[in-house]
Structure formats: C-alpha cells, structure tokens
C-alpha cells in the first residue's frame, strides 16, 4: 500500500462525493466544482489512544517535526510522508489565561484564554496551514505557487515557498493590504502583483491563473492547508491540560479557520479523542458581513450538505448589482465572497455555532484593550473580543464558561491602525504620546505630577 492510502480527497457535496488520490492536485471538485476535503483511512493510521499521548513528542523536540506545533500532531493530518514535510518551527504559540481582560469583560477569573497565533514565524496563524500546503506541494513536486491575499497568506506563502525552493506569486488588491504584511511579501521575495480591485477580485483571478498555468494554489480552498490549521485547536486543548473549552471564538474572513476547526472537532469526536465538541462563535466585520447576513437573516444552513445555493447566488447577485465592495479597518477579513462558506456552515453545524458582526469602532477599541493587557494583535483578531462582549451581554456565553479567543495575527502587521487609534484619540482606550520640552523638571513632572 502506498503512503497516500492513509488519506484521500473527497468532494463535500453529498450528491457527488467524488474521491481522488492525494497525489492529484485540484482545488475544487473536477466533477461538480464544490470544495474538497482531506479524508483519512483511520484504520491505517496509528492514532494515539488519547490526546495526552501527544505530550511524549516534547521529549524528542530535537526532531524538527516533533518541535513543530503542527507536525507533532501528525497522525491527525497524515496525508504525506515525513520526507515531504516542511517545517520552519511554526505553531510555537501560547494560550494565555488573561484575567485582567476577563475582569473588564465581566468574565470570572481563569475562564478567558487568548490563543496568540501572532507568535508564528511569519506573525500569523497562516503558518499552521502553509506548512501543510507546502508539504503537499513538495509531495506532488509543484514548482510554482500562488495565492490571493489580504496580506497574511502572502507573507506566509512567501516564507514557506522560499524555504522549500518553490516559486511564488502573490495577488493583492491595490491599497487593500496592511503595511507590515506588504513589507513581508516583498522582503521574502514574493512576486507581488497588485490588482486594481479587492480581495474577491484577486481570488477569482488567482484561481483562473493557477488553472491555466498549472500553478499550485495555497489559498484556503486548498484542503491540505486546512489540515494544518486544525492543530490550533489541538494546541488549545493541550494547553488546557487536554480539556476542551466551552467556546472557541474566531474572526471570519475567507472562513478557512472556522471550517478547519469544525473538521478537527468532528474528527476528534469520531476517534473518541474528545467526549464533547465546544461551541463556536464566528465574528465578521460589519463592513464584510456575508456570513452573518446569510446565517442570521437568510437562515442559510449546512443541511446535511444540501446547502441552498440559490440563497447564496441571489445575495452575490445583489452585491454585484449594487457594485458592493467590502470595507473594514480589519483589512484581513475584508472579504465578501468567502470561498469556504459551505465548509464553514458545516463547522457551525458541528459546533452549534453562532455568528455576529461588529463595527470597526468596536474592533479598534477591543484591539487596544487586548494590547493594554499584554498581547498585541491586529484588528481582525480583535474582532473576537469585540464579539465576545455581545455574547456575554446577551447571555449566549455564560461568564463562568471557558472561552478561547483566537488572536490570529501580530500587532505589528498593521501598525497604521494602532498608531492612528492612539494618536488621533479614536476611542476610550487611546493612549497618545505626551509631548514635552527637552527639560528635566518638566519631564519629571509628567511622570510624578
């Protein structure tokens, strides 16, 4: 049996359910155009009897695969041989119990946790997925890769592509990318193409280009990428002493994270590794609220895989007719046609999920609150805490429950939003610099009035 028999790809459309070998490279089902999943033959994989068995890998962390916060859980994403696995030390991230922030939000001590994915090598959670995507790219001997990006995917792609000798091209929307991220894509040698349009335009173009030129696509349409992102949930469970939290709160953009988290929990439950699945809250920005609108107003549901496509098509036609382009200061999630929408609906079904949208003001206020308690994050990440305030206020989340917010990216990704918030006194948590003459007495007076 070849190694790839441990896993295969399957179309998520139950009426199609076409299956493909992992050596075949598709980013949508070639038969019906739906998304693909990576599915495992669990009986051919030596999955540990309990999650805590993964802790043994810590003793052999001189092996880079055991050091990696993704690959140390490799039995749960066993789609390629060790020789293809690429790692640059991703996933060394911390779940920080933050009682100071909990207090501000009216949550009991030891109940609020922040999963700080900004600690990844490229500064965002994307590295969890990119290590998996590039391992697959290596397995299938890809020579060139590409992505559309609001910034973080491009930074992560560029760093991994060059660490394994694969060329890469980035598609970004003109003026739609935060400064820190653009600097990374350029500095890591990504061939950067700015399209006069938004992320959704870039996403369409990159798919066409990849199909035409046979380039390996690393957006979250890529099912192998999502396999890596499952490990964010494993690390949260690991850091809670192998216990499952009550709530996972995650920002929603292209909806790759939420999709992969739902898949992780469904698989762990199926394998008997966890006895219950946490609830999930997905937070959109109000200016890019497709999921929130379709889920809450239009009642769009997974429905066993029979998603009502007409609701989606009608809404997208409305957006097109109105010339709508999404707008939010959280540029990472400025997306109106999320490619993983259907998988995300499945995750919401698995996790008894809720969806809400928060304003830019709520996002930047929450970002400053998170910063002031010791963890810097970018605006999209702060949508989690902004959303949590609503969930506590309306009683959806009990302040006694254990809550994990996924802080997806580092504060330095988007310094402009931070500087403007403080300097221009944009909210109650602004902390602008105080100017003073070059005079010792006056300086001391400012510090000790």
Query: In Å, what is the CA distance from 306 to each residue of 16, 295, 309, 343, 351?
Result: 11, 15, 8, 12, 18
Q: Which is nearer to ligand F0G, 6 or 258 (CB)?
A: 258
Q: Which is nearer to ligand F0G, 29 or 380 (CB)?
A: 380
Contacts (CB under 6 A) with ligand F0G, residues 101-140: 124
* Binding window for ligand F0G (CB under 6 A); candidates: 11-19, 98-106, 146-154, 320-328: 146-154
**Closest approach of ligand F0G to the CB of residue 219, in Å:** 7
Size of the site for ligand F0G (CB under 6 A): 21
Binding mask 263-292 for ligand F0G (x = CB under 6 A): ------------------------------
Name which position in 68, 93, 120, 254 contacts ligand F0G (CB under 6 A).
Answer: 254
Q: Which is nearer to ligand F0G, 51 or 285 (CB)?
A: 285
**Closest approach of ligand F0G to the CB of residue 150, in Å:** 4
Q: Which is nearer to ligand F0G, 3 or 28 (CB)?
A: 28
Name which position in 257, 284, 290, 426 contacts ligand F0G (CB under 6 A).
Answer: 257
- For residue 234, give the nearest of 402, 80, 91 by alpha carbon: 91
**Closest approach of ligand F0G to the CB of residue 214, in Å:** 22
SS (H, E, C) the chain: CCHHHHEEEEECCCCCCCEEECCCCCCCCCCCCCCEEEEECHHHCCCCCCHHHHHHHHHHCCCHHHHCCCHHHHHHHCCCCHHHCCCCCCCCCEEEECHHHHHHHCCCCCCEEEEEHHHCCCCECHHHHHHHHHHHHHHCCCCEEEEEECCHHHHHHHHHHHHCCCEEEEEEECCCCCHHHHHHHHHCCCEEEEECCCHHHHHHHHHHHHHHHCCEECCCCCHHHHHHHCHHHHHHHHHCCCCCCCEEEEECCCCHHHHHHHHHHHHHHHCCCCCCCCEEEEEEEHHHCHHHHHHHHCCCCCHHHCCCHHHHHHHHHHHHHCCCCCCCCCHHHCCCCCCCHHHHHHHHHHCCCEEEEECHHHHHHHHHHHHHCCCCECHHHHHHHHHHHHHHHCCCCCCCCCEEEEECEEHHHCHHHHHHHHHCCCCCCCCCCCCCCCCHHHHHHHHCC
b/e burial code for range 175-206 (CB count within 10 A of at least 16 → b): ebbbebbbebbeebebebeebebbbbbbbbbb
**Closest approach of ligand F0G to the CB of residue 241, in Å:** 27
Contacts (CB under 6 A) with ligand F0G, residues 208-227: 220
Name which position in 7, 281, 329, 332 contacts ligand F0G (CB under 6 A).
Answer: 332
Find where tokens 């060139």 sit. Answer: 144
Q: Which is nearer to ligand F0G, 9 or 219 (CB)?
A: 219
Name which position in 409, 411, 421, 426 contacts ligand F0G (CB under 6 A).
Answer: 409
| CA 343 – CA 36 distance, rounded (Å) | 9
Does position 328 interact with ligand F0G (CB under 6 A)? The reply is no
- For residue 34, give the nearest of 14, 58, 52, 20 by alpha carbon: 14
**Closest approach of ligand F0G to the CB of residue 388, in Å:** 15
Task: Please identify the residue of the shown chain whose CB is closest to the bound ligand F0G.
Answer: 253
**Closest approach of ligand F0G to the CB of residue 335, in Å:** 6
Q: Which is nearer to ligand F0G, 4 or 325 (CB)?
A: 325
Binding mask 148-177 for ligand F0G (x = CB under 6 A): -xxxxx------------------------
Q: Which is nearer to ligand F0G, 239 or 257 (CB)?
A: 257
Q: Which is nearer to ligand F0G, 153 or 369 (CB)?
A: 153
**Closest approach of ligand F0G to the CB of residue 185, in Å:** 10
Name which position in 130, 137, 146, 255 contacts ligand F0G (CB under 6 A).
Answer: 255
Q: Which is nearer to ligand F0G, 133 or 332 (CB)?
A: 332
Q: Bridge-partner residues for 171, per DSSP? A: 148, 193
Contacts (CB under 6 A) with ligand F0G, residues 361-380: 378, 380
Q: Which is nearer to ligand F0G, 54 or 252 (CB)?
A: 252
**Closest approach of ligand F0G to the CB of residue 58, in Å:** 28
**Closest approach of ligand F0G to the CB of residue 147, in Å:** 7
Does position 68 interact with ligand F0G (CB under 6 A)? The reply is no
For residues 112 and 403, is the Cβ–Cβ distance under 8 A? Answer: yes
Does position 245 interact with ligand F0G (CB under 6 A)? The reply is no
Binding site for ligand F0G (CB under 6 A): 124, 149-153, 220, 251-257, 332-333, 378, 380-381, 408-409
């Amino acid at each position: 049996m070849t190694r790839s028999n441990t896993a295969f790809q399957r179309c998520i459309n139950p009426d199609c359910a076409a299956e493909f070998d992992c050596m075949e490279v598709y980013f949508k089902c070639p038969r019906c155009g739906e998304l693909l999943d990576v599915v495992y033959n669990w009986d051919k994989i030596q999955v540990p009897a309990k999650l805590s068995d993964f802790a043994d890998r810590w003793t052999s962390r001189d092996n880079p695969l055991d050091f990696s916060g993704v690959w140390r859980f490799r039995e749960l994403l066993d789609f390629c041989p060790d020789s293809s696995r690429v790692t640059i030390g991703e996933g060394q991230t911390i779940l920080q119990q933050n009682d100071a922030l909990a207090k501000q939000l009216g949550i009991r001590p030891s109940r609020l946790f922040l999963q700080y994915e900004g600690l990844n090598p490229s500064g965002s959670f994307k590295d969890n997925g990119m290590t998996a995507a590039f391992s697959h790219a290596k397995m299938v001997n890809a020579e060139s890769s590409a992505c559309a990006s609001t910034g973080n995917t491009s930074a992560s792609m560029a760093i991994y592509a060059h660490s394994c000798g694969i060329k890469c091209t980035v598609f970004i929307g003109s003026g739609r990318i935060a400064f820190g991220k653009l600097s990374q894509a350029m500095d890591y040698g990504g061939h950067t193409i700015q399209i006069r349009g938004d992320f959704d335009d870039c996403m369409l173009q990159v798919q066409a280009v990849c199909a035409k030129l046979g380039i390996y696509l690393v957006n979250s349409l890529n099912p192998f990428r999502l396999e890596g992102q499952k490990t964010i949930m494993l690390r949260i469970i690991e850091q809670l002493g192998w216990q499952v939290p009550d709530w996972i709160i995650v920002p929603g953009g292209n909806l790759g994270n939420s999709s992969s988290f739902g898949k992780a929990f469904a698989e762990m439950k199926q394998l008997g590794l966890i006895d219950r699945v946490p609830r999930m809250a997905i937070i959109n920005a109000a200016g890019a609220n497709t999921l929130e609108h379709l889920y809450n107003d239009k009642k769009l549901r997974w429905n066993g895989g029979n998603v009502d496509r007409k609701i989606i098509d009608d809404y997208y036609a409305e957006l097109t007719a109105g010339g709508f382009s999404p707008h939010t200061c959280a540029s990472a999630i400025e997306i109106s046609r999320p490619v993983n929408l259907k998988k995300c609906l499945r995750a919401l079904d698995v996790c008894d999920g809720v969806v809400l949208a928060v304003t830019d003001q709520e996002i930047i206020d929450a970002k400053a609150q998170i910063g002031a308690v010791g963890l810097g994050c970018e605006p999209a990440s702060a949508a989690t805490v902004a959303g949590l305030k609503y969930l506590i206020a309306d009683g959806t989340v009990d302040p006694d429950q254990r809550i994990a917010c996924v802080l997806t990216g580092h504060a330095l990704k988007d310094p402009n939003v931070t500087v403007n918030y403080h300097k221009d006194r944009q909210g109650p948590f602004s902390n602008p610099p105080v100017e003073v003459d070059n005079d010792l007495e006056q300086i001391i007076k400012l510090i000790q009035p």
